[in-house]
Structure 1
Amino acid sequence: MSIQLAIATSAAYPTIHPDDAHLAASLAALDIELQVCVWNDPGVDWARHDAVLVRTIWDYFEHYDAFLAWLDRLERAGVPVINPVALMRWNSDKRYLAQLESLGVPTIPTRLAARDALAAALAAFRGEDVVVKPCVSGGAWRTVRGTAGDAAFERAVSELPAGDYLLQPFVQAIVDDGEWSLLFFGGEFSHAIVKRPAAGDYRVQEQYGGRNDAVEPDAATLAAARHALATCKALGLGDASYARVDGVVVDGRFLLMELELIEPSLFLADRPDAAERCARVIAARLEALRAANAPRMPESA
């Protein structure tokens, strides 16, 4: 009997995204029956599926309470999720960066502040180029960059909605050299890209004109990404079938920017080999889940 796998998407991306097309085809070829489901569609019966693969739920941070409630429902129903629910909960709030830094993972220096405390926090950075972003966000959502002390920038910060924010120095290397994304499937390195912003911008996302270039990481960059993942794994939140480690190299040192374990773009469109590796890892995880949940035969007397 084939495995019934729900692929969780969002209303804005209700079908298989082109970047995931070969991944979906590879899963189907492994006798996994796929059904695309919008994550916050109340009509979906998630318990009908053997597992859920989270993909393009690219609006979860805009509906964060509903997202956490959805994870709770999946957990209560006993529906396995790839990646695990506990891992996704942890990864959904960027406070995890402070935890990883405390455990020895080099990151971009980060200060946490509630919206009402941002003005006081920015005073310590007067004259510096800084970035303010929500602790729960994605795709540069509600992200503001400017010079601390500049009236227009501080007005923009004051207009941010209530919530908790990260305050970071802007890293010029993102513009000069790009932002690294290293992809791992089942803990093994697969491939890497460097994301570069459009001229005059600092945001590397494609919707802002950013572009992606395939690259091979040097030994130090790859080791740093592996260290970040190993530190995360040691927290005991479950194994990641897929992971994307985002960072920037400053003075020869890789600094973690994000550990993407929920719904990252995996940059598979031009890498069918990587899509097939990812599919094999997911299939193996599904078989392990099936074996763990199979009824055991009684021992003979």
Structure 2
Amino acid sequence: MTRITVLTPDPADPSYSGQWPGVLERLSKALEAADVTVEATPWTDHITDASGLTGYPLVLPVIVWGYHRDHARWMQACRTWEEAGVRMLNPARVIGWNSDKSYLGRLADRGVAVPETIWVEGVTQADVDAAFDRLGTDVVVVKPRVSGGAWKTLRLTRGEAMVGAPEGPAMIQPYLPSIETEGETSMLFFGGKLSHVVNKRPVGGDFRIQVQFGGQYVALPEPPAGALALAQKTLAGIDETLLYARIDMAQAPDGGWRLMEAELIEPDFYLGSAPGGGRNFAEAVRAVL
């Protein structure tokens, strides 16, 4: 058996203590079938010193929940791991830049279709009020550039006062109504190959598709028409060696697909919907080992 390590949340943060052990158990079970044994260690134990990680043939940062609330130390840790040559997949440099959603702008510059986005350093009510006309919509979404799980994300209608504005760099996008009716589609890639597809829909009246807000997930037999092409274009635009990627997208009013997120850090793999409970992921890990 090959022994690897998985990075987990800060033990001082109780937010996820009841959830991440179950995720680790599912990952461990999938990897056991590929003769891989998993050890867990908090990412916050290795911020300035990577010596506790360099002995492993592979480090997976796939349960580093909460990094978005501790972003300065997260970026410091990513630099530490990269400089120490930790064999991490996805690579430390990638999970650093992927933690700031400004990467969507860079992908747009490479021809990837994303919702039109207004980037601001500190969002104000005036920014939001001006965005409706600029984006040609009556509903916008405001979110921090560094976020996770819809943290501090707002949906606002024209004339509505912004309450609980995100602090620091933020983004404003037109709201895509298809999220309520058709949902968001996620494609999971392991080792560059499509593994499975999941459709995620919010509960009635909400726009957040995360399970903590009641989101409902259904496995699809294949990607919707046109969606796979955008996912492949996204991966080509990223142009990095990736062990895993979750590409999230939704349909715009014109019927075209728009990239919502390229999750390269700690995405939910939806292993319950994956072939063999995660066989494709385990095989991708075994291949890099």
Bin the TM-score by the shorter chain.
0.7 to 0.9
Mapped to 1, the partners of 2:179 and 2:62 lie a distance apart of: 26
Mapped to 2, the partners of 1:116 and 1:109 lie a distance apart of: 16
C-alpha change, 1:15 and 1:29, in structure 2 (3 Å) is: farther
- Equivalent residue number for residue 279 of structure 2: 276
Mapped to 1, the partners of 2:117 and 2:257 lie a distance apart of: 15
Letter in 2 for 1:33: T
Letter in 2 for 1:241: L
Letter in 1 for 2:205: G
Mapped to 2, the partners of 1:195 and 1:107 lie a distance apart of: 18
- Equivalent residue number for residue 32 of structure 1: 36
1:189-215: CA deviations, max 9, x gaps? 111111000112110000001110111
Segments of 5+ residues of structure 2 without an aligned counterpart are none
SS at match of 1:115: coil
Mapped to 2, the partners of 1:161 and 1:106 lie a distance apart of: 25
- Equivalent residue number for residue 296 of structure 1: none
- Equivalent residue number for residue 213 of structure 1: 218
Query: How far has the Cα of 1:281 moved from its partner?
Result: 0.6
- Equivalent residue number for residue 249 of structure 1: 251
Determine if the alignment matches structure 1 residue 239 to structure 2 residue 245: no
Determine if the alignment matches structure 1 residue 59 to structure 2 residue 66: yes
- Equivalent residue number for residue 3 of structure 1: 2
- Equivalent residue number for residue 298 of structure 1: none
Determine if the alignment matches structure 1 residue 142 to structure 2 residue 152: yes
Segments of 5+ residues of structure 1 without an aligned counterpart are 288-301
Determine if the alignment matches structure 1 residue 263 to structure 2 residue 266: yes
Mapped to 2, the partners of 1:111 and 1:162 lie a distance apart of: 16
Structure 1 window deviating more from structure 2 (191-200 vs 13-22): it is: 13-22
- Equivalent residue number for residue 294 of structure 1: none
Mapped to 1, the partners of 2:194 and 2:33 lie a distance apart of: 23
- Equivalent residue number for residue 196 of structure 2: 191
Structure 1 window deviating more from structure 2 (212-221 vs 137-146): it is: 212-221
1:23-42: CA deviations, max 9, x gaps? 32232343323111121136
Mapped to 2, the partners of 1:103 and 1:171 lie a distance apart of: 22
Q: TM-score, normalised by structure 1?
A: 0.84
Query: How far has the Cα of 1:124 moved from its partner?
Result: 3.8
CA-based RMSD of the aligned residues comes to 2.2
The percentage of counterpart residues that share the same residue type is 36
Mapped to 2, the partners of 1:93 and 1:196 lie a distance apart of: 24
Q: TM-score, normalised by structure 2?
A: 0.88
- 1:289-300 matches, cutoff 5 A: none
Determine if the alignment matches structure 1 residue 69 to structure 2 residue 69: no
Find 1:102's aligned residue among 97, 109, 122: 109
CA contact (8 A) 1:20 1:268 kept: no
Q: How many residues align?
A: 276
Query: How far has the Cα of 1:219 moved from its partner?
Result: 4.0
CA contact (8 A) 1:134 1:166 kept: yes
SS at match of 1:240: coil
